[in-house]
Amino acid sequence: MERNKKRSECPISCSLDIFGDKWSLLIIRDMIFFQKSTYGDFLKSSEGIATNILASRLQGLEDNKLIEKLEHPNSKAKFLYTLSEKAIDLLPIIVEIYLWTDKHFEIPTEIKATIKEAKKDKNEFLKSLTKQLKKQITERKNGI
């Protein structure tokens, strides 16, 4: 697992070195939009990630400071994965991906509501969700 393989200094290239694969952004999506926070949560995603791939992706995201692995407040058998601010800052990218698909594909109805809200007032949507997520992570670190 080579994770220091910067191919160039280009920001796009560097970003893709970090999350340019089929799974990393889905884990972030699950944490942002579906409040998933444990290994088991991520395994249940409808895309069906393999256990070893999930482990390696979580490690990669941790290496790149996009997530943090904390003790689970309710159980020592679990770990609690939380977003970093760096990861929360990916939200605009993820929202733009949603808006792109909205323009060019059929979208499942469950998700349409979220996209509609994001389209209505993008800045407000980003701002309030970001605020909420940041609140969440400080609460978790303080064990609330």
Partner DNA sequence: TAAATTTGCTTGCGAATTGCAAGTGCAAAT
Partner DNA sequence: ATTTGCACTTGCAATTCGCAAGCAAATTTA
Cα–Cα nearest to 89, from 107, 66, 72: 66
Question: Does the protein bind a copy of itself through residue 48 (CB under 8 A)?
Answer: yes
Instruction: Compute the least distance from the CB of residue 117 to DNA, in Å.
Output: 30
Q: Identify which of 91, 41, 85, 89 has the alpha carbon closest to the alpha carbon of residue 67.
A: 85
- Closer to DNA at the Cβ: 56 or 114? 56
CA distance 13 to 41: 30
- Two tokens at 40? 């088991």
Binding of DNA at residue 139 (CB under 7 A)?
A: no
Q: Choosing among DNA, a copy of itself, none, which partner's interface includes residue 97 (Cβ < 5 to 8 Å by kind)?
A: a copy of itself
Report the interface residues with DNA, using CB under 7 A: 1-2, 21-23, 38-41, 48-53, 55-56, 58, 69, 72, 75-79
